[in-house]
Amino acid sequence: MPWLWIVPIILSGLFDGTTQARKWSVGIYTLLSGFFFAGTFISVVPHHVNIVDMLLATVFPWGPLNLLIAFTVEGISQRISRLLHIREKSLTNDATTMRPFRSGALIIVILALAVGFPFACRAAAFRAARASARADAERDWASGRAIWYVRRGDPEAFGTSGECYSVDNGLKTEAPKPGVTAAIYCDAYREVVRRKLSEFGPADKIKDLCTKADLIAWIKAGRFQRVQAFPLKQGAAEISLKGYNIKGYGNVGCFRGEPSAFLYYATIPEKKDALVVITDDSIWVFDKTGELLQSIDFETYRQMAISEDILIGHR
């Protein structure tokens, strides 16, 4: 929709020739349009706008860029008007008269294109998003890097908080990207992955993940011991009472305001030596390389009624 600011330039060009006054009019109109365009361009969600940022964005880049677009459109529209002989000068004086049929037909065409453009652009953007999503999903599934986009309202699988792996299908989970077109992309991507899961079954990564029953069984078996020396290391991950930091994965980290009261750990050979860490309000599972596989949220942790007394009692 913001790109329709060029339509008045085209329409007014049917009535005005190329004069110095028109150049000034087009320039002023374009800068005003650029100012408002600077407030509509979304680079961060949620989108916040203020006058100072809009003025700065008008100075650069939208002002110069829109002026370039405006005078390019102006030159093309004036050239088309001359080619179609929309205006013609009188033989007796310098007055310019319009050819009503040609100008009226061209105005109808321009308005029809202006009205249809947003709808056509929207449909094209959605079609491209779906095609891109299907191609990306096929590629990611083939390479073993498929993502499971979790829709709002979906029940959260055990340990998937913090964009970890889903214990239901073994795929890395992510929240849908913001934006209408991005939502279309995520839905199409998820549909392909869902079909692949029904055809081939869960991803191999599911073998490395633990369920709530697994975790409770390991606690009862007394497999957890208190950390005596910090930081506790597992591959690229370093864990302490303040949280964890993973180098090599975009320097992913999670740090808390106050240190945990305790930190217990267990290495699980049957899960490819995964490291399970229990603090006073959370549980983390790291694979052998240090990648975070699962992160149990506080609500689930609370429901499991885990405490240091229980951990000690099963030693």
What pLDDT, on the 0 to 100 scale, is given for residue 78?
87
Residue 178, domain extent: 126-204
Contact (Cβ atoms closer than 8 angstroms) between residue 132 and residue 185: yes
Among 198, 133, 126, 132, which residue's Cα sits nearest to residue 168? 198
Q: Are residues 227 and 147 part of one domain?
A: no
Among 269, 270, 241, which residue's Cα sits nearest to residue 256? 241
Hey, which residues does 276 pair with through a beta bridge? Answer: 266, 285
Q: Are residues 171 and 92 part of one domain?
A: no
Q: Are residues 8 and 69 part of one domain?
A: yes
Q: Are residues 169 and 243 part of one domain?
A: no
What are the tens digits of pLDDT across the range 158-197? 888 777 999 999 999 998 888 889 999 999 999 999 999 9
Q: Is the torsion defined by CA of 197, 199, 205, 210 positive or negative?
A: positive
Q: Are residues 258 and 214 part of one domain?
A: yes
- Specify the DSSP class assigned to residue 138: H
| Domains held by the chain: number | 3
- Flag whether 119 is in a domain: no
- Flag whether 220 is in a domain: yes
- Flag whether 274 is in a domain: yes
Q: Which residues of the chain have pLDDT under 50?
A: none
What pLDDT, on the 0 to 100 scale, is given for residue 162?
72
- Flag whether 121 is in a domain: no
Q: Are residues 14 and 85 part of one domain?
A: yes
- pTM for the full model? 0.72
Q: How far apart are CA 268 and CA 274, in angstroms?
A: 5
- Flag whether 115 is in a domain: no
- Flag whether 143 is in a domain: yes
- Specify the DSSP class assigned to residue 267: E
What are the tens digits of pLDDT across the range 34-75? 998 888 877 666 778 889 988 998 998 889 999 999 999 999
CB-facing half-sphere around the CA of 302: CA atoms within 13 A:
3
Q: Which of 204, 220, 239 is the last residue of a domain?
A: 204
Which run of H or of E encompasses 52? helix 51-57
Q: What are the Cα distances from residue 201, in Å, to 101, 170, 248, 249?
A: 65, 10, 30, 27
Q: How far apart are CA 215 and CA 301, in angstroms?
A: 11
With 0-12 / 13-18 / 19 or more C-beta atoms within 10 angstroms meaning exposed / middle / buried, residue 220 is exposed
